[in-house]
């Protein structure tokens, strides 16, 4: 046992604070559903092309007082389309880019998490069920992977593989898979001691069949709960990579890239190109974290 | 028992580190990147390309490159002698470049963690004394929120408010005023050097420039650390020895003090782990405030395909993290018998 394992041992359920109201869970669900919907329809409902610069740069958003009037004329079909969130340094519409970005960010995060599950779950099942030198080696490899500095490793993998979406997905999946190996292995080890495994063995069911039919379905819970948290962090990492120039390439609508483009304007008071995508990331990642926490609590009780 | 544990832990760390260096060395060379083209440009002639490849040693087989990097090819002067090689971009020694950037990050992190602890420990203790109370609920929400935020964006927001609107913070362009010069290095840590040289105005200036980066760091770190202090404090307060202390009629403040001593050790472990994580993770804050730390050095190295610099950064950051873990485990082994039992 290392000091880290003692320090990070889970808290006994009874002592955890349980939020009484459902407010946080409702909020998280609403945000996550909204982001999922935007990932599907975002680019098609954008008032402007999110990658076409045809307006003046640095147009500020309209005054809040003018919003009701503008909304009304927009709904009744009169008047020009409005740059609700202003335009950025190249004249791209900030609002269209903010609502188109979930397709980039969420796709990367969801696929990276899915791939990490595809690597981590079978590996963890093997390592927890069959304990021999082969699976020991697997765990040591996973240890080494886990001791890489995450952000810098992600940067190295993405930059050297070429800054394409698929490479970001693979890089994040490789870096996040050890979490699933570990979670799955721990859960499988507790499941392996349960009566049904003994019973199946006594009935002469093959080890592989026991592992797949009984242990696997019963051990998936914690990894699925962790998925919500991982997707949130993957969005954060994707945005961070673009922020330093090692992620998706411009002019892809992506929140981190938008913040990076708006960063130089902030010192001159041009807040809108970076404030709106930042609020979007902040809410999204918080919602995924809150959802993960609620799922974990529901799973444990 | 303890001695055997220590030797084993050190041996494991060294093996882990070696595994990591080997993995990084081969990993970056197996990637489909072309550092030579990045260096000489895509329009360079075949001769220029071949010459550059030769001078970087990239025309050699992988194994030869590997032996040379470690200093095992008979010429020595490799990693085993502490030489991290020469940057392909600047031709300066990687070790000296890291020696200039690492102190910046360490100063930022150390100040950030100190301030975080000063805030987080009292709040965490107060929250644990009344579980479910108003403060505890606020801490729960903040723990979830602060731990999952884009720190680079918050840094920009702080710049907007404190530099642009209120004009009370300096411009986010480095550690000192562009008009003044840094003190001659003694330790490499500008805060320490300015004190040693008696240049208190520079010391103050650097602290002033570090205010917003530290604020950003505290904003994202305090969530998980408050949560951790609270959890450990709760666990300690519910243990039998506290029950006994209460039964014996000790004052509440004394009881809290006892519980805090027990709760402190695991909380410090989390701080140590987070410190290691932030060595590479502070890169976004460094970028926002143009501090020139090791994270920004890593970005530069990665984007330029500067392999020796990339290897050096990963090696140094991981060694420090592993060193911190080792130290934590040793401290634990000295005070907690559960650790050495296996």
Task: Please write the tens of the pLDDT for every residue from B260-315.
Answer: 887 777 778 888 888 888 888 889 999 989 888 999 999 999 998 998 999 999 98
| B101 shares contact with chain A (CB less than 8 Å) | no
Could you read off the pLDDT tens digit of each residue along chain B, which spans 342 residues? 678 878 887 888 888 888 888 888 888 888 888 888 888 877 778 888 888 888 888 888 888 888 888 877 777 777 877 788 888 888 888 999 999 899 999 999 999 999 999 999 899 888 888 888 888 888 888 888 888 889 999 999 999 899 888 888 888 887 877 777 777 788 878 888 888 887 888 888 888 889 899 999 999 999 888 888 888 888 888 888 888 888 888 888 888 888 888 777 777 888 888 888 888 888 999 998 988 899 999 999 999 899 899 999 998 998 888 888 888 877 777 766 665 654
Give the CATH architecture of domain B101-175+210-303: Orthogonal Bundle (1.10)
**Tokens 């910046």 correspond to what residue?**
B104
Whether residue B330 contacts residue B9, with contact meaning beta carbons closer than 8 Å, is answered with yes
Q: For A240, what's the count of Cα atoms within 13 Å in the CB-facing half-sphere?
A: 34
Cβ–Cβ pairs < 8 A, chains A and B: 187
Q: What are phi and psi of A193, to 5 degrees?
A: -90, 0
A285, B150: Cβ pair inside 8 Å? yes
d(C-alpha B234, C-alpha B236), whole Å: 5
DSSP assignment of A41-95 equals HHHHH-SS-TT---S-TTPPPPPGGGHHHHHHHHHTT-S----TT-B-TTS-BHH
d(C-alpha B126, C-alpha B113), whole Å: 20
Please report, for chain B, the start and end positions of each structural domain, with discontinuous segments joined by +: 101-175+210-303
**Tokens 């100190």 correspond to what residue?**
B114
B153, A162: Cβ pair inside 8 Å? no
The model's pTM is 0.87
Q: Which residues of B touch A228 (CB under 8 A)?
A: none
Percent of chain B whose predicted confidence (pLDDT) is above 90: 16
Q: Which residues of B touch A269 (CB under 8 A)?
A: 160, 164-165
* Confidence check: pLDDT of A13 > 50: no
- Residue A176, phi-psi category: left (phi > 0), alpha (psi -120 to 50), beta (remainder): alpha
Average pLDDT over every residue of A245-274? 87
Q: At A111, is the pLDDT very low, low, confident or very high (cuts 50, 70, 90)? A: very high
Task: Please write the tens of the pLDDT for every residue from B25-67.
Answer: 888 888 888 888 888 877 778 888 888 888 888 888 888 888 8
B178 vs A84, A286, B171, B175, B205, CA distance in Å?
38, 38, 10, 9, 11
Please list the residues that pair with A87 across neighbouring strands.
Answer: A93
> Helices marked H in chain B — which ranges?
2-30, 35-40, 46-56, 62-70, 94-129, 134-146, 151-158, 190-196, 200-237, 240-247, 252-281, 283-288, 294-303, 307-335, 337-340
**Nearest C-alpha in A relative to B173:** A267
ipTM, two decimals, is: 0.86
Closest CA to B127 of B250, B227, B218, B225: B227
**Nearest C-alpha in A relative to B127:** A17
Exposure letters B172-181 (e unless 16+ CB within 10 A, then b): bebbbbeeee
């Amino acid at each position: 046992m290392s000091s880290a394992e003692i320090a990070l041992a889970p808290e006994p359920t009874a002592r955890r604070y349980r939020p009484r109201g459902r407010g946080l869970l409702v909020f998280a669900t609403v945000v996550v559903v909204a982001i999922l919907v935007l990932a599907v329809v975002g680019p098609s409902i954008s008032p402007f092309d999110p990658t076409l610069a045809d307006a003046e740069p640095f147009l500020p958003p309209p005054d809040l007082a003018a919003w009701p009037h503008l909304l009304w004329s927009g709904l009744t079909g009169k008047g020009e389309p409005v740059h609700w969130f202003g335009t950025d340094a190249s004249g791209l519409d900030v609002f269209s880019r903010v609502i188109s970005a979930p397709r980039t960010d969420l796709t990367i995060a969801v696929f990276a998490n899915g791939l990490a599950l595809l690597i981590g779950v079978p590996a963890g099942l093997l390592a927890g069920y069959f304990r021999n030198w082969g699976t020991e080696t697997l765990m040591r490899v996973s240890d080494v992977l886990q001791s890489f500095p995450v952000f810098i490793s992600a940067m190295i993998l993405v930059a050297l593989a070429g800054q394409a979406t698929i490479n970001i997905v693979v890089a994040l999946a490789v870096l996040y898979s050890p979490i699933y190996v570990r979670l799955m292995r721990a859960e499988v080890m507790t499941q392996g001691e349960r009566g049904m495994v003994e019973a199946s063995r006594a009935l002469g069911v093959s080890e592989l069949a026991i592992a797949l039919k009984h242990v696997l379905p019963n051990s998936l819970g914690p990894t699925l709960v962790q998925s919500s948290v991982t997707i949130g962090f993957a969005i954060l990492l994707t945005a961070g990579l673009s922020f330093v120039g090692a992620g998706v390439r411009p002019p892809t609508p992506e929140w981190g890239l938008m913040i990076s483009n708006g960063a130089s304007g902030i010192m001159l008071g041009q807040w809108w190109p970076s404030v709106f995508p930042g609020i979007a990331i902040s809410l999204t990642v918080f919602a995924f974290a809150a959802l993960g926490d609620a799922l974990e609590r529901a799973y444990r009780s | 028992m303890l001695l055997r544990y220590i030797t084993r832990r050190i041996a494991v760390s060294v093996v882990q580190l070696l595994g990591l260096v080997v993995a990084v060395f081969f990993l970056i060379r197996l990637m489909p990147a072309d550092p030579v083209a990045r260096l000489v440009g895509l329009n360079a002639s075949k001769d220029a390309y071949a010459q550059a490849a030769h001078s970087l040693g990239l025309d050699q087989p992988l194994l030869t490159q590997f032996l040379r990097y470690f200093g095992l090819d008979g010429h020595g002067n490799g990693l085993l002698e502490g030489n991290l090689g020469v940057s392909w971009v600047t031709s300066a020694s990687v070790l000296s470049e890291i020696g200039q950037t690492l102190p910046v990050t360490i100063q930022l992190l150390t100040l950030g963690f100190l301030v975080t602890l000063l805030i987080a420990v009292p709040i965490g203790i107060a929250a644990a004394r009344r579980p479910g109370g108003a403060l505890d609920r606020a801490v729960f929400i903040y723990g979830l929120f602060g731990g999952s935020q884009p720190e680079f964006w918050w840094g920009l927001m702080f710049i907007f408010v404190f530099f642009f609107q209120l004009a009370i913070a300096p411009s986010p362009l480095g550690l000192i005023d562009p008009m003044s010069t840094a003190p001659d290095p003694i330790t490499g840590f500008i805060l320490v050097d300015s004190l040693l040289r008696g240049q208190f105005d520079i010391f103050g200036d650097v602290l002033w420039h570090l205010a917003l980066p530290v604020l950003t760091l505290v904003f994202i770190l305090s969530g998980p650390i408050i949560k951790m202090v609270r959890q450990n404090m709760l666990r300690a307060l519910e243990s039998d020895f506290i029950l006994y202390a209460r039964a014996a009629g000790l004052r509440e403040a004394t009881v809290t003090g006892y519980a805090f001593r027990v709760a402190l050790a695991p909380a410090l472990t989390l701080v140590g782990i987070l410190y290691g994580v932030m060595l590479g993770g502070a890169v976004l804050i460094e970028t926002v405030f143009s501090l020139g730390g090791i994270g920004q050095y890593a970005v530069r190295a990665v984007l330029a395909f500067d392999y020796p610099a990339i290897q050096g950064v990963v090696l140094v950051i991981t060694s420090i993290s592993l060193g911190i873990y080792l130290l934590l485990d040793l401290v634990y082994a000295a005070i907690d018998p559960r650790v050495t039992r296996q």
